[in-house]
Amino acid sequence: MSDKPASPASPEKNENSNPASDFIREAVAADLASGKTKEVRTRFPPEPNGWLHIGHTKAFLIDFGVAADFGGKCNLRFDDTNPEKEDMSYVEAIKRDIAWLGCDWEDREFYASDYYERLYELAVKLIRKGVAYVDDLSAEQMSEYRGTAVADKSNITVTPPGRNSPWRDRSVEENLDLFARMRAGEFPDGSKTLRAKIDMAHPNLLMRDPPMYRIRREPHYRTGTTWCIYPMYDFQHPLSDAIEGVTHSLCSLEYEIHRPLYDWFIREAEVFPSRQIEFARLSITHFVLSKRWLLRLVQEGRVAGWDDPRMPTLSGLRRRGYSPEAIRDFISRIGVAKTDSMVDVQFLEHCLREDLNKRANRVMAVLRPLKLVVENWPAGKVEQLEAVNNPEDPAAGTRKVPFSGTLYIERDDFMETPPPKYFRLFPGNSVRLRYGYIVTCTGFSKDPASGEVTEVRCSYDPATRGGDAPDNRKVKGTIHWVDAPSAVKLEARLYDHLFEAERPMDVPEGKDWVETINPKSLETVAGALGEPGLAAAKPGDRFQFERLGYFCADNDSAPGALVFNRTVSLRDTWAKIEKKGG
């Protein structure tokens, strides 16, 4: 299994890169053809202990997509069996994100907590069959008895047999009594555990009498204090699938080792035979994709919350300006694989640029304004210049942009002493003003104290409206601008990767991964200006700021206090590499 990022020409190398013909769909098709499956039913089973990140997107788009492709249905089921970590706010956030990506579960919203009584009955059934028992070992003792994998003299990993618990051979009657008393709350937390009786010598450690129930006096966000025992994931999950009639339980590759246990519980409980199929999870360079790790960033205040635009959560990506179409396209194009690999974040950004290029209207804004005065402009005159909203979408039409002769340009678009091949403004040089006129720099002013340029002066040629020179003179530079009297004030938040390292978790021994956060992952530019039409922008509206990148109006925006997040720059390294490499 390779741990290297996939090459740019192939974001996730595998022979099944077309989602329409991947190995999962082949398996489902075979089950239908053989008659094993009559109607396809899948499920997306998030635990409500955090917000969804883009890695979950791959999972639920596969879950919902496979069901849709075969005319079946996909359930949304919350696996809520860890009450100390779960919350209804997480449930609402998860539903909001799934709906934003375009998935519809209609009346198929379920909760593992809905099945607590049924799961308890199935546990009793297993006790009666003699394949489950109540154990008095502590969690630490249980782990010790089960043993660990070790390397032998040839450096081959082996798993020596574990030891049976002293309470493994309790009678069925005693186990039934103890389990009922566990439910009734007679025993302290952690003092007893219901375990499956499988094989303490099994090479798969998960099969060595895994726990099924533990005592935990923790109020549940849905069931309150009704229960003081809670089912373990490996017991609950296959049986919840069976209760719902899930035909294909699709999950990420780390659950492959759990599959024998999944099948064992279904077989011994004599329930609907759900089938588990695993696929490679999504890993992206510069991203941390784990709810547990992301929760730490939130709790320690290293980000502004789950929806911080630097976070890989769907809410963070949405707030930053990602479109659901771009994310779906990205997931579709990386395909479904059987082995783990790393996708370059540049490919995600490439898919994003492709989508926003089609849907984002163009506007002009300057991040670091420098005043430009057109000296020969008629006093008091204001022209309305016509600007194209989106050259990729003729239906988007045009807009009027005011031009008064006093403008703001980007500070980087003027240099007193330019380097070679600098085609923007400098004394004596001419440039095109986007949608406007050709102007020639005639002078500039400086602040005596700081030496900073405060104003640039120029003259315009009235015959060049629209930027065309009737005498065919060569003007190499075109710059954007905003009209000074009508400009609206903006705060621009310029985001970069939260982690500079491609693999944030791969840190030297003794170093904490959270310490590798990119200190330049956010730059706030308070004095930006935009054309007047931006005043009507609502949170979530996306634009291309010409020459600067794609931006999205942030939730913090308010009338007269606009905030825009830079979604992604215009530079597309991925496309250049892909073109160069064929």
For the record, the structure tokens of 177 come out as: 């009594």
Residue with tokens 């190499």: 476
Half-sphere exposure at residue 547, Cβ-oriented, CA atoms within 13 angstroms = 15
For the record, the structure tokens of 297 come out as: 């960033």
Distance between CA atoms of residues 225 and 499, nearest Å: 41
Distance between CA atoms of residues 431 and 409, nearest Å: 12
Catalytic residues: 47, 281, 291
Half-sphere exposure at residue 291, Cβ-oriented, CA atoms within 13 angstroms = 13
| Cα distances (Å, whole numbers) of residue 106 to 73, 87, 345 | 10, 22, 33
Distance between CA atoms of residues 513 and 53, nearest Å: 19
| Main-chain dihedrals φ then ψ at residue 47, nearest 5 degrees | -90, 130
Q: H helices then E strands: how many in the chain?
A: 13, 27
Residue with tokens 């002009």: 364
Helix or strand (DSSP H, E) at 458: strand 453-460
Q: What is the length of the chain?
A: 582
CA-derived radius of gyration, the chain: 31
Helix spans in 35-113 (H): 54-69, 88-100
Q: Which of 411, 459, 415 is nearest to 439 (CA)?
A: 459
Q: Which of 317, 342, 305 is nearest to 504 (CA)?
A: 342
Q: Which of 344, 286, 351 is nearest to 550 (CA)?
A: 351
**Cα dihedral 140/143/145/148 (nearest 10):** -140
Residue with tokens 């709810």: 291
